[in-house]
Amino acid sequence: MKITAVLLAAGYGTRMKSEYPKVMHPLMGRPMIDWAMRAVESLVDAPPIVVVGHGQELVRSYLRDRAVYAEQQELLGTGHAVLQALPSVAQDADAVIVTYADMPLLTQATLRRLLDLYRTHASSPTLAIAMLTVKRENPQGFGRIVRRSDGSVAAIVEETDCTPEQLAIQELNPGVYCFHAAWLRQNLPYIPRSAKGEYYLTDLVSMAASQGRQIVTLEAPLEDVYGVNNRVHLAEAEAILRRRILERHMLEGVTIVDPFSTYIEDTVQIGADTTIWPGCLLQGATVIGRHCTIGPYSQIIDTQIADHCRVVYSVLEQARMDQGSEIGPFSHLRKGAHLGENVHMGNFGEVKDSYLGPGVKMGHFSYIGNAEVGANVNIGAGTITCNYDGVHKSKTIIGDHAFIGSDTMLVAPVVVGEFARTGAGSVVTRDIPAHATAYGVPARVHKVEDRTPPQGGAEE
């Protein structure tokens, strides 16, 4: 059976009171429309058809070739929107799913159940529609499902058109359908125009009922069909998505000490046996390995963290930590920072666009920018790489096993050789040879001695 999906995304979303289209508002690391797309993409045989209108440039630039686009130039209702998509529906399609881009909680599992219901009845020559329904006291503006005495669906009445008796109906229409494709082609152009001048997709239900066609329904989980119309709804939807994401990680072996204070976007990956402490905010394309300790109160954005790492009260953005490295409390990895294996970076340190080699110790109160630091270097408190002269940024290179004394200023471009040392308070403006000791303002070399450990011996 060949399935096509149509996603309605052309509305203004005026109740959001935003210059952005409603469907592009973010939810847990993805625009609202992305959640709706992900629910249908794996169920259909071709890219979904997205009906666009207001703010379509943003929608198109985000989805790109994940979708086929149909433009609704005049917003004349949901029936009119689907009509714009109809020419893009493959001629050999058997069924057409129609859903909404502002329904981010709708899951692939619920849509699959709807498709299974359709397939179960597909052999019936009268089948026209399989549709979701929901029962709840708060109608949230959804139309009411009107049934005949035998339980069959007779019509859907929009809330604004309901009689007092119909307003009391608690079975609601969330607007998610699977149509018989040929029947949809034949009947969609004949939807009557409402008193408001719009064409309601819901009128297809009464049309099918009057033709004696079969309409089958599936009751959806309450939270799946929660529509977002304003920023209050947006926050409520995000709370549900946040819970789902945290539950997924916990079921995959991640310990989340306090889910109520932890925010993990959907795009984040976390290995088993990692512990997330309270107050953490994990965002973007962040990947965290196994057996890590994250937090408390750390923000990590687009960062790669290997196994057995520890992050405490720190901010990491577009950075990388190799296995066994640790940072914090109160430190900052900025874009391009890379801590090698078993690096220790203590409190109130900052690294940007730099590599700290394996075993580096950077205890506290230091800034390393545009630098390459070799293995087993000790960076004393208050060390600064002076990498910017107001016009250009220059590089600092520190060789393996060097010892940088406290309060050293390294005025780039400068090279400190392997096993070299700087005295406390030095201002280094010239290269320091390997094994040399330099100190002063400006720093001068005072002695050179071989500090290489004997072959096979241990360095003291």
Asked if the model's pLDDT at residue 364 lies above 70, the reply is yes
The half-sphere exposure of 308 on its side-chain side, counting CA atoms within 13 A, is: 9
User: Which residue segments constitute the domains of the chain, with CATH numbers given?
Assistant: 3-225 (3.90.550.10), 231-448 (2.160.10.10)
pLDDT-wise least confident of 141-145, 149-153, 332-336, 351-355 = 141-145
Name residue, tokens 């959806």.
220
The DSSP string of 80-106 is HHHHHHGGGS-TT-SEEEEEETT-TT-
Residue 148 in this model has a pLDDT that exceeds 70: yes
pTM score of the predicted model: 0.92
d(CA 453, CA 460): 8
- List all residues 6 or more positions away from 257 whose beta carbon is below 8 Å from its beta carbon: 275, 276, 277, 278
CA torsion sign, 205 to 161 to 133 to 52?
positive
pLDDT of 455 > 70? The answer is no
CA distance 129 to 145: 14
pLDDT at 456: 53
* Percentage with pLDDT > 70 across the chain: 98
pLDDT in tens, 163-182: 998 898 999 999 999 999 99
How buried is residue 252: exposed, middle or buried, by Cβ count under 10 Å (0-12/13-18/19+)? exposed
pLDDT tens-digit map of 372-394: 999 999 999 999 999 999 999 99
Contact 361, 375 (CB under 8 A): no
Digit-coded pLDDT (tens) for 67-77: 999 999 999 99
Q: Which of 345, 352, 397, 402 is nearest to 376 (CA)?
A: 402
**pLDDT at residue 458 is higher than 70:** no
pLDDT at 256: 98
For residue 367, pLDDT beyond 50:
yes
CA 184 to chain centre: 35
Per-residue pLDDT tens digits for 241-259: 999 999 999 999 999 999 9
Alpha-carbon distance of 184 to 49, in angstroms, equals 15
Kindly state the percentage of the chain with pLDDT values over 90: 89
pLDDT at 138: 79
Q: From CA 309, how far away is CA 286, in angstroms rounded?
A: 14
What is each CA distance from 278 to 111, 262, 328, in whole angstroms?
35, 6, 16
**Active site positions, annotated:** 364
Average of pLDDT values for 261-288?
98
